[in-house]
């Protein structure tokens, strides 16, 4: 009797689709100045060269990837813990280089701006 019911159930089931359904999470955003994106309660680094640009964050069960203009600018293992900061060493180093360059440019602009000002007599 039991096998009879399971046979009927199997016959009534639909076949699986030829392509697996897309699963996961996807969101578009603009990369903030701190070059991190938040997914659940965790922060993941993104290459700072795309600060201010539109990005797409794609998260599956195992990976978190960030795309900008068709290229991957971050690829991290997904962490299921809470309140973690996940940083790629390349992203951290690139941010330091960009900060140093911006600091030098600001200092140069400030210095050259002062040269054009003559003191009052």
Q: pTM for this structure?
A: 0.71
Reported as a single tens digit per residue, the pLDDT across 93-121 is: 999 999 888 766 666 666 665 554 444 44
DSSP state of 4: H
Place of tokens 């009052």: 120
Per-residue tokens: 74 = 């971050």
How far is 3 from 6, CA to CA, in rounded Å?
5
* pLDDT of res. 20: 83
Q: What angle do CA 66, 71, 75 make, to 5 degrees?
A: 35
| Residue 61 phi, psi (nearest 5) | -70, -30
pLDDT confidence tier of residue 49, bands split at 50, 70 and 90? very high
Q: Which residues of 18-32 are buried (b: 16+ CB within 10 A; e: fewer)?
A: eeeeeeeeeeeeebe
Q: Which helix (H) or strand (E) holds 76?
A: strand 71-77
């Amino acid at each position: 009797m039991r096998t009879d019911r399971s046979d009927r159930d199997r016959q009534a089931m639909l076949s699986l689709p030829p392509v697996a359904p897309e699963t996961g999470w996807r969101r578009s955003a603009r990369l903030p100045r701190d070059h991190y994106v938040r997914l659940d309660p965790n922060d993941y680094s993104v290459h700072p060269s795309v600060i201010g640009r539109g990005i797409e964050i794609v998260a599956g069960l195992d990976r978190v990837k960030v795309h900008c203009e068709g290229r991957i600018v971050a690829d991290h293992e997904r962490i299921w813990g809470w309140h973690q900061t996940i940083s790629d060493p390349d992203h951290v180093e690139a941010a330091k280089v960009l900060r140093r360059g911006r600091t030098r440019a600001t200092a140069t602009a400030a210095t050259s701006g002062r040269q054009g000002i003559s003191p009052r007599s």
